[in-house]
Structure formats: C-alpha cells, structure tokens
Structure 1
Amino acid sequence: MTDVWELVRAEREALADDLAGLTDEQWEAPSWCGGWTVHDVAAHLVDNARTTRIGIVLAMARARFDFDRQNDQGVARWKGATPAETLGRLREVVGRTTTPPAPLDSRLVEEVVHGEDVRRPLGLVRDYPSETVERALAHQLRTSVGLGGGKQRVAGLRLVATDADLSYGDGVEVSGPLVSLLMVVSGRGQALGDLSGPGIGRLEQGLSGSS
C-alpha cells in the first residue's frame, strides 16, 4: 500500500488548488458539514493537520471535553481574516504528518470527506485515487459512529461500488460510486441520491438513527 501521508498530501494539495479558484462568495457558501461554510471547513482542515497526540488532549480539556466545541474552537483559531489568509495556512500544512491518537487511515477520511463537503455544493469534481477512497471507506465501515465512523449505519447492508470491483458486507444491496458510498457511510445524507438498490430505505433509517 502507498504510504498514507503521500495520499494525504495529494488530497491537501488538490483541495488547496481548488480553493484557490473560488470567489469570496463561494468561500462563504454553506458546505455539506452542518453549520459550516466552505471557509470554516478549510480552517478545520488546517486545525486537523496541526493536531498532535498531546495537543488534542489539551484542546479537548479547553473545550470541557465537548467534541463539537473543540472543533469550533479549532476553526476560530485557524480561520483567517480573509480566504487568502486561510488558503495560505492550508498550503503551509500540506506536508505535515502529525495526528491525533487514531488509525492513520482516519486522516484519509478527513481529507476526502471534508474535500467533498466543500466541492459538492460548489459543483466541483475530483477524480480521487481509488486507493485513497477505498482505504477511507474501509476505515469508516469498521469504526463506530461514536468514534466518527459509520459501522452502525450500514448494519445488514451490502455496499457495492459501481465504479470499482469492490463490495462490502452482507445483506440488502445498496450500490453507487465509491466516493458517494463513503459520504453516506460518513453521515452525509445529501449523497443518497447517487445510490440505488433495495437497501436504500434501510440506509436512510441508519442515517437518521445513528447520526
């Protein structure tokens, strides 16, 4: 397998390049990450890239161990006064290899899912390397929702990628593009329209019941 940090760096660079072409109005557009603008997501990715094993403990303590508050504080810390300032900060961290105490493939989840949180509402499309998305999806499928994954959302379902020779799980089938499967497993119900199959209703229930 490719070193995870090579894949992470490629995603950071690709997103920074996409963001460089946005207008100020697009930076303030709502993302697919509830309550955050495109600008907020970019700032979160800066914060995420700068996270260390000790730093996350200190950040959680400052947020009184409220995960959402900790994320919002990170956005406030790294969101620049202008989009250009935040973009510069994002470019500064493309090569960082620090991480919280989590499996390394979770870094791929962060980059791809948040990348799509930004791109999809703006109509931007990225042709992701298959390995990057496959590893991110595999991580989400084995990780509990409480830890940021999507394991419970797909219980009793068989996910089939229509753009790769891959399937996951046993049960009622849901099929669609690999990236869209990843987005739905990660709690983005906005991508349900890309999927089909007799298991869609069950997947919708999983989203509403474990988000």
Structure 2
Amino acid sequence: MTGGHLTQEQIRPMIAAERTELADLLAGLPEAAWDSPTLCAGWRVREVVSHMTMAYRYSMLRVVFGIAKAGGNFNRMADRAARKDAAELTSGQLVASLRENVDHPWKPPGGGYEGALSHDVIHGLDITTALGLDRTVPADRLRVVLGDLSTKNLKYFGTDLHGVELRATDLDFAIGSGTPVTGHAQDILLTLCGRKLPHDRLLGEQAPRFTQRFNGKD
C-alpha cells in the first residue's frame, strides 16, 4: 500500500483536520494528564505538544542558533526546546498554539506536506495511545503516513523487522517477511516508528518484541 501522490489541495485539509481534532482532544484533558508519560521516551504530554508546536513559535534563525548551541545535533536541540517550553507554557497556551496554527504551512525539511501530516499523526498517537484514549486516526490519513515511510525512516527509528511481518488488520498494509505480528494500522505505524506499545495492542508470537509494560499495567 502506498499513500499515492497527493496534491497540496488534497493533503493540507487532512493536516488541518488532524490538528483541529487533536486540539479539541487536548483541551478536554484533565490538567493532571498533561504530566503523564507518552510513547516518546522521557517526554510527558507537555513536552510532546511543545515539540509539535515548536515550528509555529520558533523562527528559522532561532532554530539554527539552537542547533548550533546543541553541537549541530537537531534532536538534542529539539529535546531542550521541548523541555524548556513545557516548563514555561501552560496547557492552555499549548492548546491555543496548536489550534491557531491548524493551517500553518510548516513542512519538515525534505518531508513535504506528507511529512507534516506524519509528524502530527505520529505524535498525536504518542499521546493518545499512552493515555489509553479511544481515538482512531481516519484511514485516509493513515494511508498517507504509512505510504510515506521508507527504509530510511526505519533506520532512523532503529526498527528491527528481522524475521517478522507487521500486518494491519484494518487496512491493506503489510511490511517485512516472517512471523506475522498483527494490529490496527495506527499501532503498526507506531511500531514502525520504534515505539513500544502496551502489550494488548499487537498479536502474534513475536509481538512481545514490540510491546512493554506501560504505566504499571501488564
């Protein structure tokens, strides 16, 4: 399955819808939930939303300066920025930043609008999956994001599919070769992105390779 070539006019409404839906969901979270861990290792909900909205709040010059201070390491800069902003901005301010920028034209370098949608979908799932919230990303968006993945992405995330086929049960998508591990498409997506899922999200003999105890639950 591939996402197919989409025009700007086709994909930007998906991005706006994803951001709007996530802003609505975040606005309804109890304040204590903002300090809950997510699937992004070491980041609470606050840090994830701070990271998601960084591009709306930071100028290119500020990003370049931050990368330079981080020794040229973008991930280190992004982590520092997320932690700093999470400590300084309220949950209401973070939600407002997301809601006010649903139509923002940001694209990750070299990633296009498909990359922007992937960024929002994956980080949104980092939050909702960890919190156990019942949110399903629409199939058309998942098709784009799964179709946008490449071998380079898997290497970046350190995903090892040796001897395993990951297979979605709700979309026509499979990747890898070997013992089947099945789950909903959005859980397969998170697995491909190196996230460790709650144990009941995947099925198959090799599923424990990709799952963990989460929030003290088996």
TM-score interval w.r.t. the shorter chain? 0.7 to 0.9
The alpha carbon displacement at 1:56 in A equals 4.8
Counterpart of 1:153 (choices 156, 160, 178) is 160
- The answer on 1:16 being equivalent to 2:27 is no
1:118–1:146 CA distance, 2 compared to 1 (3 A)? same
SS of the residue corresponding to residue 94 of structure 2 reads helix
User: Which deviates further from its counterpart, 23-32 or 164-173?
Assistant: 164-173
1:58–1:123 CA distance, 2 compared to 1 (3 A)? same
1:81–1:197 CA distance, 2 compared to 1 (3 A)? closer
Alignment RMSD: 2.7
Question: 1:116-131 maps to which residues of 2 (within 5 A)?
Answer: 116-131=125-140
**Structure of greater relative contact order (alpha carbons < 8 Å, 6+ residues apart):** 2
Question: 1:130-169 maps to which residues of 2 (within 5 A)?
Answer: 130-147=139-156, 149=157, 152-169=159-176
User: Which deviates further from its counterpart, 4-13 or 165-174?
Assistant: 165-174
Counterpart of 1:106 (choices 94, 115, 118) is 115
- In structure 2, how many angstroms separate the alpha carbons of the residues matched to 1:61 and 1:31? 28
1:96–1:78 CA distance, 2 compared to 1 (3 A)? farther
Task: Tell whether the 8 Å contact from 1:184 to 1:192 is kept in structure 2 after alignment.
Answer: no
SS of the residue corresponding to residue 143 of structure 1 reads helix
| 1:38 corresponding residue in structure 2 | 45
Question: 1:1-80 maps to which residues of 2 (within 5 A)?
Answer: 1=6, 3-49=10-56, 56-76=63-83, 78-79=85-86, 80=88
The alpha carbon displacement at 1:136 in A equals 1.6
Task: Tell whether the 8 Å contact from 1:119 to 1:125 is kept in structure 2 after alignment.
Answer: yes
Structure 2: 5+ residue runs without aligned partners? 1-5, 212-218
Task: Tell whether the 8 Å contact from 1:154 to 1:203 is kept in structure 2 after alignment.
Answer: no
| 1:85 corresponding residue in structure 2 | 93
Q: Describe the superposition over 1:101-131 as per-residue Cα deviations: whole angstroms up to 9, x where unpaired.
A: 1222222222112111111232212221112
Structure 1: 5+ residue runs without aligned partners? 205-211
TM-score normalised over the length of structure 1:
0.80
The alpha carbon displacement at 1:155 in A equals 4.3
1:181–1:9 CA distance, 2 compared to 1 (3 A)? same
The alpha carbon displacement at 1:202 in A equals 6.4
User: Which deviates further from its counterpart, 171-180 or 98-107?
Assistant: 98-107
For these two proteins, the number of residue pairs brought into alignment is 202
1:184 maps to amino acid: T
1:203–1:190 CA distance, 2 compared to 1 (3 A)? closer
SS of the residue corresponding to residue 167 of structure 2 reads strand
1:120 maps to amino acid: T
